Amino acid sequence: MTTISAIENKRPVFPFTAIVGQEEMKLALLLNVIDPKIGGVMIMGDRGTGKSTTVRALVDLLPEIQVVTNDPFNSDPSDPELMSNEVREMILQRKQIPVSTARISMVDLPLGATEDRVCGTIDIEKALTEGIKAFEPGLLAKANRGILYVDEVNLLDDHLVDVLLDAAASGWNTVEREGISISHPARFILIGSGNPEEGELRPQLLDRFGMHAKVGTVKDADLRVKIVEQRSSFDKDPKKFREAYKSAQEDLSVKILEARERLANIEISYDLRVKISQICAELDVDGLRGDIVTNRAAKAFAAFRNHEKVTPKDIFTVIPLCLRHRLRKDPLESIDSGLLVQEKFSQVFGYASAP
């Protein structure tokens, strides 16, 4: 399995394992890679805290996947839910499907993107003159089975955010124009980042992100010096710096792959599920997304830790990430740091301190 060297010929990427601190953000990203159904991550924090660097570093760790060759939607040759209608028709007609391997892609969504650029567009002229559905795929097609990253998501037009979240939730993107409708799979991990000083997302949009990670400026002087040294070393000789972390990168990549394979067999007891729902109810969390995401994240974390069953400690670690942005709050207050969620966890589970 080629995991690290495949992109050496492109712009060098800072190694994920070399990133100092910001454990909460790194954990949220890793859990979403292990189980994309968690629903993505919203990362909010100060300027210059490595949000974009960390997200782009994540791509280095992702495994290769099987895709239908030259398919614009990165269709899965074996899963009907992840293949385009054209590939499905080829299978029904028993045609030979060319298959190749490709790295999981990460697509950057620019702030000025139009809806046509995001969703794709239908060539009306070709449809009328030649009678065929000529579809020009957008960023959602390119992001299928990969990662869609939106930097400064809180500055993105609300309508576009709605489109992204709808596609992320349903796994499909539908483009309709002039009586012509085309659908294609759009299963991706949605990662948004932003600076709270530039405004928060609407609560109903925040709720659609599976997890919410907060990042802050490092206060420890020694740690700040280490971060500066790491960055200076990388800028001076990226190839040599990446080589020093090659083993750690490959180890983490294998760990992610094994966790993905182990995930389906992870158990979470009925008692723990009841307590998760009790915490959500007592915190007055609207809807059931909080319950569902916490269950999924706890199982993904257990898989990452090579456990067979979810433990209270697994839940304690992930539940602030899953619930903090779903709490009812005063409009003038910022999102809870997670302490309120952890306090409620201790009450429900009967712990005097962290497990």
The pLDDT tens digits for 69-119 are 888 888 888 887 788 878 888 888 888 888 888 888 888 888 888 888 888
- In terms of average pLDDT, the best of 106-110, 288-292, 294-298 is 294-298
Residues 285 and 190 in one domain: no
Annotation says 202 is catalytic: no
Asked whether residue 284 is assigned to any structural domain, the reply reads yes
Residues 53 and 157 in one domain: yes
Residues 270 and 134 in one domain: no
Residues 300 and 188 in one domain: no
CATH code, 334: 1.10.8.80
Using the 3D structure, point to which of 215, 244, 278 is the last residue of a domain. 215
Contact predicate 51/45, CB 8 Å:
yes
Residues 35 and 102 in one domain: yes
- pLDDT above 80 (res 23): yes
Contact predicate 76/115, CB 8 Å:
no
Domain around 317? 264-349
218 vs 30 pLDDT, higher one: 30
Lowest mean pLDDT among 11-15, 43-47, 203-207, 262-266: 203-207
Using the 3D structure, point to which of 176, 193, 215 is the last residue of a domain. 215
Using the 3D structure, point to which of 187, 215, 243 is the last residue of a domain. 215
Residues 270 and 198 in one domain: no
- pLDDT above 50 (res 183): yes
Mind listing the pLDDT tens digit for each residue in 308-354? 999 999 999 999 999 988 887 655 455 566 788 888 999 998 876 66
Catalytic residue (choose from 56, 187, 289, 324)? 289
| Residue-averaged pLDDT of the chain | 84
Q: How many domains does the chain have?
A: 2
Element (H, E) at 113: none
Residues 307 and 158 in one domain: no
Alpha helices (runs of H) in the chain, residue ranges in sequence order: 23-34, 51-58, 85-92, 115-119, 124-130, 139-143, 158-170, 203-206, 221-236, 238-244, 246-262, 270-282, 289-304, 312-323, 339-349
Asked whether residue 225 is assigned to any structural domain, the reply reads no
